[in-house]
């Protein structure tokens, strides 16, 4: 597989090699050794989450407090989503910026994002099935969000599905009530880049 750094530091696009024939397709969808080589530390999977979403559903922007936060490895097993990474580290050179990747059941690409980053996606078709491998278990008291339509962040969400039909955004009550990036920062919810770096240095390095 090929791994390419995205414009937000700490996030990568992962492109697997697809072996196709008349029977179908085979691929290595996750390689812990490859991710460890990229990040310099093991990716210890402790939980796997799956969501199924109708077209237009937006989930996020979600993040977990540092430490321990969560590193995530995100794939789309069925359908298609626009996957988004947001830099919420307050002293980062790219604070408030975002990058996006199309994940679908054709390219089988994945996104790897490190601890201390925000994550969201929009489902582009009905039944989009997203799997997240994460390095820390869900901790309700340490999970937070940023409103995905915060104009200060300015995520360019799709308005039209691949088949040309309009996409009508749909949010959970929790995501609809999420603070803006500025409000989350004022409330002390966002990590600093220094805090994230200190936490990453505390993790077990590669032998």
List the beta bridge partners of residue 98: 86
Contact indicator for 199, 66 with CB cutoff of 8 Å: yes
- Choosing from 73, 132, 144, 147, the catalytic residue is 132
Q: Report the C-alpha gap between 11 and 25 in whole angstroms.
A: 27
Annotated catalytic residue 132: yes
Conformational region of residue 142, where left means phi above 0, alpha means psi within -120 to 50, and beta covers everything else: alpha
Dihedral over Cα of 24, 30, 31, 34: its sign: positive
Contact indicator for 85, 6 with CB cutoff of 8 Å: yes
Q: Select from 171, 7, 17, 204 the least CA-distant residue to 109.
A: 17
- Choosing from 62, 119, 144, 147, the catalytic residue is 62
The H-or-E segment that residue 1 falls in is none
Q: Report the C-alpha gap between 108 and 114 in whole angstroms.
A: 20
Annotated catalytic residue 138: no
Which of the residues are catalytic? 62, 132
């Amino acid at each position: 597989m090929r791994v390419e750094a995205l414009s937000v530091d700490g996030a990568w696009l992962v492109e697997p090699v697809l072996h196709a024939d008349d029977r179908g397709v085979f691929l290595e969808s996750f390689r812990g050794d490859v991710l460890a080589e990229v990040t310099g530390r093991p990716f210890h999977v402790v939980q796997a989450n799956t969501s199924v979403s109708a077209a237009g559903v937006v989930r996020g922007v979600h993040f977990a407090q540092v430490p321990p936060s969560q590193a995530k490895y995100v794939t789309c097993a069925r359908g298609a989503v626009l996957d988004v990474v947001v830099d919420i580290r307050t002293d980062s050179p790219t604070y408030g910026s975002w990058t996006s990747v199309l994940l679908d059941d054709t390219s089988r690409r994945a996104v790897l994002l490190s601890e201390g980053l925000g994550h969201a996606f929009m489902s582009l078709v009905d039944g989009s099935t997203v799997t997240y491998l994460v390095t820390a278990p869900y901790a309700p008291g340490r999970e937070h969000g940023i409103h995905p339509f915060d104009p200060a962040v300015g995520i360019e969400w799709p308005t039209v599905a691949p088949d040309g039909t309009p996409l009508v955004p749909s949010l959970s009550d929790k995501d609809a009530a999420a603070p803006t990036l500025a409000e989350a920062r004022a409330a002390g919810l966002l990590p600093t880049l220094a805090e994230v770096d200190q936490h990453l240095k505390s993790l077990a390095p590669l032998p």
